[in-house]
């Protein structure tokens, strides 16, 4: 009997290993041979740990499974009477009901992450073969036409970035996969690296072929040791099967790939700080221009793309630019991997076409708050993203629509808070985080964030006669950071602060009873 | 051999393992941190000499990154997430409970996101992520670490 259990780090963190142990034990007692496949996660975390099985070409699931329930589930599977309270039915049906359209995550949870045969059986390497067939210019043209934009947060058109590096002079060029997924509320990169790492590798090989680079680096954050193991195993598999090396898929093309581990600095998710870190230096931000596409790591033209961006490329090449561009909304084409978490009943990863509303995601898919209390605020786009009140739930998931409302989609993280949240405290947290993680290169960020914490504390603890003055000062400081910071850390920290101030001013007025801390 | 000679040899050996690698400083520092638990001044000197860098350059990198420590930890290390997604689910209470229980016997480190946001509040011990923690669970984890128990 072939069974599938997710062993991504999140599933393991909530007891997947105990489920596996119980499963092995129950199978042995019953003398049932079980072929257990360890997969990545489907991203339906309120249903994890899940046990999946195949039936008539479909994958069906039980979940959330506790070790105690495992023997009953095994009996249900053996007898064929699958009436069981934890039976979820076909996984594809769940996705369909949720409106998910899985492009990036189509293999995640489906296959053994580092199995070459599973990868090939699910369309792996087709994108690269197509790329090798049509040549670099047509690859870049296809990626441009697909409308793919950087999924790391900035949303820059990927094809344009690649073209710049392609045209840049120099024989040595690099591809860098940005796997420094530091934003709170985001875990899509991690899930992909733990569930379908070969698609990331294939995407990087295609990028290398397109721009003329033969060396790639994946800059992975040190908080993801489990992803590092899976990714390293996948790189080894890729070398064994000529997805990497000096004769890629017998084409004569050459591409090498290495993992580099970060060291706990949030700023290294910023592409120029990442490049400094890759060079073995302090992760301080560089001035732009020159762009990394022209003058990147070791001074050479470098494509820096987010994990999800790179992993999307094989599908675009395999299915065609039009198929990808047909999904989505306006200038935001394709799918967005929404990561829904915080105080929410159904937390998880939802790969959705751009264009559905924030309210739909939080209320219909998320099922409201986990605590059962009313939702008060959601932060979209990581710790530098704006807090939106429920009155903005009609905002469609779309880069421009969020920008118009002084927010950003970022990497697609949505963190939900119920009505117990203190928004002034969240504003202070944002400034404090910026002060902690600032690389120190530019003054608005390095000094501004420290002053920001102080001003917010004065607003919260000082006498009310000075509050108006301090609020004005805080807004002025935010404007300076917005206008004068070198990168997104200082430049976007005002987003959560100002949105808290604008949408939840009452939290900055409840002062007298608040103790100083 | 004295303790410092053993340390020197270990660091020399790590440097040798990374010989020929492109920009080896961070990988070397990671290895030293994991082997020794911290990066001592002597280690900085040796690494600087081996990589033909100044001590200031190596020291600057050590001080920039939170993963690199210049002193040994007080005890075993538990990393607890203090970022927004965990806080929305009671992360602040988990953090406070951990500090109250630790009393200096266990090193508590703040991290800003372990990528386990859909299963928070989260912590990490020896590279293993733990999810859906409450105050009671974190206290027993801290107590187990303080006693030196395996998890």
A417:B111 CB<8 A: no
State the best of B53, B58, B85, B116 to mutate against chain A, taking most chain A CBs within 10 Å.
B85
Query: In the beta sheet, which residues pair with residue A255?
Result: A245
Mean pLDDT of B122-142: 97
Phi and psi of A470, rounded to 5°? -70, -35
Please give, rounded to a whole number of angstroms, the shortest distance from the CA of A258 to a CA of chain B: 11
Q: A417 in helix, strand or coil? A: strand
Q: Which chain B residues contact residue A223 at CB under 8 A?
A: 79, 111, 113-115, 124
Q: What is the pLDDT of residue A511?
A: 56
Percentage of residues of chain A with pLDDT beyond 90: 95
- Domains of chain A listed by start with CATH number: 2-90 (3.40.30.10), 116-325 (3.40.50.11540), 328-418 (3.10.20.600), 423-508 (1.20.1440.230)
Question: Residue B98 above 90 pLDDT?
Answer: yes
Given this model, what pLDDT does residue A517 score? 46
User: Which residues contact residue A459 at a Cβ distance below 8 angstroms, ignoring those fewer than 6 apart?
Assistant: A424, A467, A470, A471, A474, A508, A511
Instruction: Using the structure block, give the residue that is written with the tokens 């329930």.
Output: A69
Strand B107-111 relative to strand B123-125, pairing: unpaired
Q: Residues B12, B14, B17, B19: is their CA dihedral positive or negative?
A: negative
Q: Is A114 left (phi over 0), alpha (psi -120 to 50) or beta?
A: alpha
Give chain A positions within 8 Å (CB) of B31. none
Rounded to 5°, the CA angle A139-A144-A150 comes to 110
Do residue B66 and residue A264 have CB atoms under 8 angstroms apart? Answer: yes
Of A48, A181, A417, the CB nearest to B88: A417
- The DSSP line for B45-93 is HHHHHHHT--HHHHHHHHHH-TT--SS--SSSEEEEE-SHHHHTTTHHH
State the DSSP string of A49-109.
Answer: S-EEEEETTEEEEE-S--GGGHHHHHHHHHHS----TTEEEEHHHHHHHHT---STTSSTT
Contact B127 A12 (CB under 8 A): no
Q: What is the CA radius of gyration of chain A?
A: 24
Bridge partner list, A341: A415
Smallest Cα–Cα separation from A293: which of A164, A146, A178, A202? A164
Phi and psi (nearest 5°) for A177? -90, 120
Q: Which of A439, A397, A368 is nearest to A46 (CA)?
A: A368
Overall residue count recorded for chain A in this entry: 517
pLDDT, tens digit, 9 for 90 and up, residues A262-313: 999 999 999 999 999 999 999 999 999 999 999 999 999 999 999 999 999 9
Q: What is the mean pLDDT of chain B?
A: 95
Q: Are B24 and A12 inside 8 Å of each other by CB?
A: no
Nearest-by-Cβ selection for B113 from A183, A343, A370: A183
**What one-character DSSP code corresponds to residue A462?**
S
Looking up tokens 């920039």, which residue turns up?
B64
- Contact of A182 with chain B, judged by CB distance below 8 Å, is answered with yes
Q: What is the pLDDT of residue A82?
A: 80
**Cβ-based contacts of A278 with chain B (< 8 Å):** 23
Q: Which residues contact A135 (CB under 8 A, 6 or more apart)?
A: none
For A65-108, write each residue's pLDDT tens digit. 999 999 999 999 999 888 899 999 999 999 999 999 999 999 99
**Dihedral (C-alpha) A150, A152, A154, A160: value to the nearest 10 degrees?**
-20
Question: Residue A449 and residue A428: Cα distance in Å, rounded?
Answer: 10
Note whether ipTM > 0.95 here: yes
pLDDT lower than 50: segments of chain A: 516-517
User: How many Cβ atoms from other residues are within 10 Å of residue A460's Cβ?
Assistant: 23
Rounded to the nearest 10 degrees, what angle do helices A467-484 and A443-461 cross at? 160
Residue owning tokens 């669970």? B137
* CB A327 within 8 Å of CB A335: yes
Going by C-beta distance under 8 Å and a sequence separation of 6 or more, which residues neighbour residue A485? A442, A444, A445, A448, A491
Q: What is the pLDDT of residues A372-391, one digit of tens each?
A: 999 999 999 999 999 999 99
User: Residues in chain B, how many?
Assistant: 151
pLDDT recorded at residue B4: 86
């Amino acid at each position: 009997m072939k069974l599938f259990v997710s062993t991504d780090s999140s599933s393991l963190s909530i007891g997947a290993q105990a489920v596996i142990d119980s499963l092995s034990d129950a199978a042995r007692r019953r003398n049932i041979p079980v072929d257990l496949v360890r997969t990545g996660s489907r991203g339906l975390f309120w249903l994890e740990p899940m046990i999946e099985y195949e039936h008539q070409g479909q994958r069906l699931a039980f979940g959330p499974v506790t070790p105690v329930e495992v023997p009953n589930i095994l009996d249900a599977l053996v007898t064929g009477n699958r009436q069981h309270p934890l039976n979820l039915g076909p996984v594809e049906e769940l996705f369909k009901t949720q409106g998910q359209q899985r492009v990036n995550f189509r293999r995640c949870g489906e296959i053994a992450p580092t199995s070459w045969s599973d990868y090939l059986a699910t369309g792996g390497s087709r994108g690269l073969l197509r790329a090798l067939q049509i040549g670099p210019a047509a690859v870049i043209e296809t990626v441009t036409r697909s409308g793919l934009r950087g999924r790391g947060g900035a949303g820059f058109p990927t094809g344009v970035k690649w073209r710049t590096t392609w045209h840049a002079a120099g024989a040595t060029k690099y591809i860098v996969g940005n796997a420094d997924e530091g934003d709170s509320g985001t875990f899509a990169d991690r899930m992909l690296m733990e569930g379908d790492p070969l698609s990331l590798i294939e995407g990087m090989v295609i990028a290398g072929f397109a721009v003329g680079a033969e060396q790639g680096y994946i800059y992975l954050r040190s908080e993801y040791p489990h992803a590092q193991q899976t990714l390293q195993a996948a790189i080894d598999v890729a070398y064994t099967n000529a997805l990497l090396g000096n004769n890629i898929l017998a084409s004569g093309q050459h591409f090498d790939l290495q993992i580099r581990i970060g060291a706990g600095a949030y700023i290294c998710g910023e592409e120029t700080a990442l490049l400094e870190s890759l060079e073995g230096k302090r992760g301080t931000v560089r001035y732009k221009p020159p762009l990394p596409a022209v003058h990147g790591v070791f001074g050479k033209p470098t494509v820096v793309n987010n994990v999800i961006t790179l992993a999307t490329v094989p599908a675009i090449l395999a299915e065609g630019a039009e198929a990808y561009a047909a999904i989505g909304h306006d200038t935001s084409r394709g799918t967005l991997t929404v990561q829904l978490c915080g105080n929410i009943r159904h937390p998880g990863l939802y790969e959705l076409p751009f264009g559905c509303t924030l309210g739909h995601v939080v209320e219909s898919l998320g099922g409201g708050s986990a605590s059962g209390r009313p939702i008060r605020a959601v932060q979209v786009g990581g710790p530098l993203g704006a807090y939106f009140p429920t009155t903005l739930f009609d905002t469609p998931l779309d880069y421009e629509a969020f920008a118009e409302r002084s927010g950003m989609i970022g990497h697609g993280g949505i963190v939900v808070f119920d009505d117990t949240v203190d928004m002034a405290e969240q504003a202070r947290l944002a400034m404090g985080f910026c002060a902690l993680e600032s690389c120190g290169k530019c003054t608005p960020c390095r000094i501004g964030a420290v002053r920001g914490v102080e001003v917010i504390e004065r607003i919260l603890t000082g006498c009310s006669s000075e509050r108006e003055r301090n609020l004005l000062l805080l807004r002025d400081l935010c404007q300076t950071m917005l206008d004068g910071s070198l990168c997104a850390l200082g430049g976007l920290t005002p987003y959560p602060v100002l949105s808290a101030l604008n949408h939840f001013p009452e939290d900055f007025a409840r002062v007298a009873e608040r103790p100083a801390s | 051999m004295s303790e410092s000679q053993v340390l020197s040899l270990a660091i020399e050996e790590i440097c040798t393992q990374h010989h020929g690698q492109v920009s080896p400083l961070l990988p070397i520092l990671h290895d030293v941190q994991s082997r020794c638990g911290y990066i001592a001044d002597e280690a900085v000197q040796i690494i600087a000499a081996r990589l033909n860098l100044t001590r200031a350059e190596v020291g600057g990198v050590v001080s920039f990154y939170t993963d690199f420590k210049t002193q040994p930890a007080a005890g075993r290390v538990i990393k607890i997430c203090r970022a927004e997604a965990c806080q929305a689910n009671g992360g602040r209470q988990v953090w406070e409970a951990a500090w109250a229980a630790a009393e200096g016997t266990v090193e508590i480190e703040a991290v800003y996101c372990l990528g386990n946001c859909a299963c928070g509040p989260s912590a990490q011990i020896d590279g293993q992520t733990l999810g859906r923690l409450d105050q009671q669970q974190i206290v027993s984890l801290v107590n187990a670490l303080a006693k030196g128990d395996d998890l």
